[in-house]
């Protein structure tokens, strides 16, 4: 129908979206994670599929159903997510890193449940791989889009992530703003792009925001003749 033929901006394109938190195991019954609900990433994947893209959703542990028309790959840890993204990267056109990847994981994975001891305890951590940074070092034709949740100095941190990770866009939200961020169904973001591009959005339902963000990016990239 006419609506779809005009709106199939991503027909023939491959979009990879990561979503949700990661889990970093401590022992068989415990892990480190964060409050990511996966909603924004799932909304981005649905928006890509609606625009006609071949859409791969690489998801950390969340309880959301897979959007229709999306191929979903479930992963657990940052390392699993890195491997899954690498496997899809070479022939992808847009990579959207909505996932809240854990920055640290326990240095040792205990095979048995750890028993409590008298007194205090501490957990030794090591850095996980920065997936977006890695993709930035391997970038060919792909358009790389990151997300950043910040509590302060949003524009400063978002722009520094854009540079540091060789991303094309960083979509930043101030998670201290009410109704924006993790569990919420709405979000309020500012998108930053190379060459001092910056545009703020109103508070919107995540699904509507995802559509607007993706359209904005795709139309800009088509004008840039990608």
**Residues within the interface to ligand CTP (CB under 6 A):** 78, 97, 99, 101, 103, 128, 130-132, 146-149, 161
Q: Of 13, 188, 4, 148, which is closest to residue 93 (Cα–Cα)?
A: 13
Residue 14: which of Ca ion, ligand CTP, none does it interact with, CB under 5 to 8 A by kind? Answer: none
Q: Long-range CB contacts (< 8 A, 24+ apart) of 169-176?
A: 169/143, 169/144, 169/145, 169/193, 169/217, 170/145, 170/146, 171/145, 171/146, 171/147, 171/213, 172/147, 172/148, 173/147, 173/148, 173/149, 174/150, 175/149, 175/150, 175/151, 176/151, 176/152
CB nearer ligand CTP, residue 4 or residue 153: 153
Nearest approach, Cβ of residue 6 and ligand CTP (Å): 30
CB nearer ligand CTP, residue 41 or residue 67: 41
Instruction: Write out the binding residues for CTP.
Output: 103, 113, 147, 161, 165
Of 79, 80, 103, 150, the one binding Ca ion (CB under 5 A) is 103
Nearest approach, Cβ of residue 158 and ligand CTP (Å): 8
**Encoded tokens for 219:** 């139309």
Residues 6+ apart with CB under 8 A from 131: 18, 78, 81, 82, 85, 97, 99, 101
Q: Is 1 a catalytic residue?
A: no
Instruction: Write out the binding residues.
Output: 103, 113, 147, 161, 165
CB nearer ligand CTP, residue 76 or residue 130: 130
Residue 131: which of ligand CTP, Ca ion, none does it interact with, CB under 5 to 8 A by kind? Answer: ligand CTP
Residue 128: which of ligand CTP, Ca ion, none does it interact with, CB under 5 to 8 A by kind? Answer: ligand CTP
Nearest approach, Cβ of residue 98 and ligand CTP (Å): 7
Three-class secondary structure of residue 4 per DSSP:
helix
Query: Which residues are the active-site residues?
Result: 34
């Amino acid at each position: 129908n006419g609506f779809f033929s005009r709106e199939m901006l991503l027909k023939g394109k491959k979009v990879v979206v990561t979503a949700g938190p990661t889990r970093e195991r401590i022992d068989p019954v415990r892990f480190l994670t964060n409050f990511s609900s996966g909603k924004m990433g799932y909304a981005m994947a649905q928006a890509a599929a609606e625009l006609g893209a071949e859409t791969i959703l690489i998801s950390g542990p969340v309880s959301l159903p897979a959007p229709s028309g999306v191929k979903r790959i479930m992963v657990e840890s940052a390392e699993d997510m890195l491997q899954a993204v690498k496997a899809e990267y070479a022939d992808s056109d847009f990579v959207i890193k909505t996932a809240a990847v854990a920055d640290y994981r326990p240095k040792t994975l205990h095979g048995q449940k750890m028993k409590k001891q008298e007194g205090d305890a501490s957990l030794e951590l090591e850095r996980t791989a920065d997936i977006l940074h890695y993709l930035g070092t391997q970038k060919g034709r792909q358009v790389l889009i990151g997300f950043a949740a910040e509590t302060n100095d949003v524009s400063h941190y978002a722009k520094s992530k854009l540079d540091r990770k060789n991303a094309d866009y960083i979509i930043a939200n101030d998670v201290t703003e009410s109704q924006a961020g993790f569990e919420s169904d709405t979000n309020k973001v500012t998108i930053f792009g190379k060459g001092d591009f910056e545009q703020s959005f109103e508070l919107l339902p995540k699904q509507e925001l995802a559509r607007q963000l993706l359209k904005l990016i795709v139309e800009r990239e088509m004008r840039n003749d990608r």
